[in-house]
């Protein structure tokens, strides 16, 4: 069972038991996180459901494992003959999440009428 979720402006291919590093979110270590923006879902039988843009009845649940800073990236600007040099470093904050399960909720009556 796999799903493609969207969070922090990026898309991630996830499956239960997998650990992913995502853009920092407002959650503490040990908190449960629900991802409702699911773009694609594939079950055990191989049946694929595509969202337009999202799938309404599928949710991905996870647990926050840690928060931290990524590797340091060096940004160096230089202009010759003008004595201009600027050296900066940047460490992107992240949240590590373990995907616990992918839930498929029952389809509501409104969604049945639309289909």
- Domain spans of the chain, in order of start: 2-68+96-108
- Using the predicted structure, report yes or no on whether residue 108 has a pLDDT greater than 80: no
Task: Provide the token pair at 23.
Answer: 């853009």
d(CA 52, CA 30): 32
> pTM value?
0.80
Is residue 88 very low, low, confident or very high in pLDDT (cuts 50, 70, 90)?
very high
pLDDT digits (tens, 9 = 90+) for 19-78: 999 999 999 999 999 999 999 999 889 899 999 999 989 999 999 999 999 999 999 999
7 closest CA partner among 20, 71, 105: 20
């Amino acid at each position: 069972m796999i799903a493609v979720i969207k969070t922090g402006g990026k898309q991630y291919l996830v499956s239960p038991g997998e650990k992913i590093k995502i853009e920092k979110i407002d959650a503490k270590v040990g908190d449960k996180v629900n991802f409702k923006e699911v773009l694609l879902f594939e079950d055990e039988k191989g049946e694929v459901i595509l969202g337009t843009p999202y799938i309404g009845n599928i949710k991905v649940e996870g647990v926050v494992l840690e928060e931290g800073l990524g590797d340091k990236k060096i940004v160096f600007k230089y202009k010759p003959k003008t004595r201009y040099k600027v050296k900066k470093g940047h460490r992107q904050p992240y949240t590590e999440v373990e995907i616990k399960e992918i839930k498929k909720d029952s389809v509501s009556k409104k969604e049945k009428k639309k289909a």
